[in-house]
Amino acid sequence: MLAGLKQQKRKVNQIDISFRTTGQGPALLMLHGHPQNHMMWHKVVPALSEHFTLVTADLRGYGDSDKPVSPPSESLYSKRIMAQDMRELMASLGFNKFAVLAHDRGARVAHRLGLDHPDAVLGMMLLDIAPTLAMYRQTNEAFARAYWHWFTLIRPTPFPETLIESDPELYLRSVMGARSAGMKPFTPEVLAEYQRCLSLPGTAYGICEDYRASAGIDLEHDEEDIRQGNHLTCPLMALWGKNGAIEQCFEPLNEWKKVAAQVEGKAMPSGHYIAEEVPELLIAEALSFFSSINDL
């Protein structure tokens, strides 16, 4: 269904963000993970579009969105900047208040979006992450082996970019295929779209900058939130894969309760890619959770 929708671009926060929109009802922003793009939502969009106006966007550095080059000693890929992209995109579309459904890297952007723009975010569902600061602080061997790319991609440019660019398909399959479900959840058409976007000039750089920011400036922002007592105030539903590293290495619900005021969550019978492994179950959870938010 997503491929049949017009792909648009909107200049926000000094860059072009690529997105598609469909459906009717309250606004729901949907943010993807790594090394994907907005097409990861293709299995859940048809059902959710009957209840919500969906905005599926590519994060800066990913998909068909712009991939700006950071100046020396400064990151243009902090989650604060990436969250501002999405706040301005939604405002430009006429949505000053909205909910968020986000996976992986997009969920980290959503976390910052809720902290920096609590007036705009009515509620969020985050898929298969624990808070970034908690994950770095609690790194152990099992996590480092499962999330090896977290530590490879943060090396200074151009080393990790060169590795990705030398064989984008190999990188894609090495990251996604190494998860518990292998490559089975991904349709050939969407997999081809992931590979196309990963092969675009600048994508490898944008991805690495995203991860470098998470190991640098993003941790500083998260630590400052803790010092200031700044918590997520909107309703939060955290879902994670029972067969994934989040379940095995962390206590995600307890970690989210440390940084959010209204939290519920549970493990799903899947691995990391919940939206593509168990879409029907995710649809049911999303409809139940977002319908419970009074302001939607």
Residues catalogued as catalytic: 104, 272
What are the backbone angles phi and psi of residue 184, rounded to the nearest 5°? -60, -35
Backbone Cα Rg of the chain: 17
Paired tokens of 291:
């319908």
Helix/strand/coil percentages in the chain, nearest 5: 45, 20, 35
d(CA 59, CA 112): 14
Give yes or no for a contact between 240 and 126, defined as CB atoms under 8 angstroms apart: no
* Helix axes of 168-176 and 159-166: crossing angle, nearest 10 degrees: 100
**Antiparallel, parallel or unpaired: β 98-103 and 53-57:** unpaired
CA 293 to chain centre: 21
Residue partners of 166: CB distance under 8 A and separation at least 6: none
Residue with tokens 């990790």: 160
Cα distances from 203 to residues 19, 176, 243, in angstroms, run 16, 17, 29
Paired tokens of 142:
């099992």
